[in-house]
Structure 1
Amino acid sequence: MPKRVFVSFDYDYDKSLKDLLIGQAKNPDSPLEVDDWSIKEAPYGGKAKARAVGVAIELRVAQEEGIDYFLLNGYSSQTGKKPTTAQADDKLYHWTWPNLETPVGGGR
């Protein structure tokens, strides 16, 4: 049975990646299920507000609540950046199917 996950993303830079991940989650062999509760338009305040607040706050809440999380970089040409609230030892996974299956399954 697929594991249900919450996806947090930078709206202005990563919306297409979020859409691809949700599409990939619909494959029959997917280890995850995504319910898309994300906003459908740019948040009030534009890029600066969403980038500085959205993902960082959502990650902080997950940390405070003891919710498992992992960081995923979907860009092959970039090294990716961790959210400002990420822990120093948080690994940033490159988005490949095996790299997605491992942390979704609890491996880090």
Structure 2
Amino acid sequence: MHKRAFISFDIDHDEGAKTMLAGQSKLPDSPFTFKDNSVKKHLTGDWEAKVRRRMDNVDVVIILCGKNTQSATGVETELSIARDKRKPYFLLAAYSKENCVKPNSALSSDKIYRWTWDNLKNLIAGQR
């Protein structure tokens, strides 16, 4: 059974990486599905409530980490919501040749994992 994933990413800097990750969900041996509920601009109004509702229907949250993630308040809030909802999550380096950083709400024990197909499949399966 494929796990449903919520992908949290810095909309100002890492949308291309999110698109690539979403594309991997379409591979024949992908362990996860992804319905693109992301907006093409910043959410307005009670956007946190909208994110909470979207997270109700997922099995795992993937936090894409880029070089500016520490200043991405949306990612910071989405990670906090994932923890509040007790959703399993992991941090994934969006780029292999850049210094990817954690969101401010990450725990000191949260590790940023290298983005490889094997790592991704293992992380989705809960191997962390």
What TM-score bracket applies, with the shorter chain setting the length? 0.7 to 0.9
Aligned 8 A contact 1:12 1:42 in 2: no
Residue aligning to 1:55: 75
CA distance in 2, matches of 1:34, 1:20: 12
One-letter amino acid matched to 1:6: F
Query: Counting strand residues as a fraction of each chain, which structure ranks higher?
Result: 2
* Residues 5 and 32, structure 1, Cα contact 8 Å, conserved in 2: yes
Structure 1 residue 65 displacement after superposition: 1.5
- For 2:25 and 2:37, how far apart are their aligned partners in 1? 15
> Which of 87, 104, 119 is the aligned partner of 1:67?
87
Matched residue pairs, number? 103
Q: 1:86 and 2:119 equivalent?
A: no
Indicate yes or no: 2:122 matched with 1:102.
yes
Match of 2:53 in 1: none
CA RMSD of aligned residues (A): 1.7
Stretches of structure 2 lacking an aligned partner (at least 5 in a row)? 45-70
Identity %: 45
- TM-score by structure 1 length? 0.88
Q: Distance in 1 between matches of 2:114 and 2:94?
A: 6
Q: Render the CA deviation track for 1:49-73: whole Å, top value 9, x for unaligned.
A: xx44200000001111211000000
Superposed CA deviations along residues 22-78 of structure 1, whole A, max 9, x for unmatched, are 11110111011011111113567xxxxxx4420000000111121100000021111
Gaps of 5+ in 1: 45-50
Q: Distance in 1 between matches of 2:104 and 2:15?
A: 19
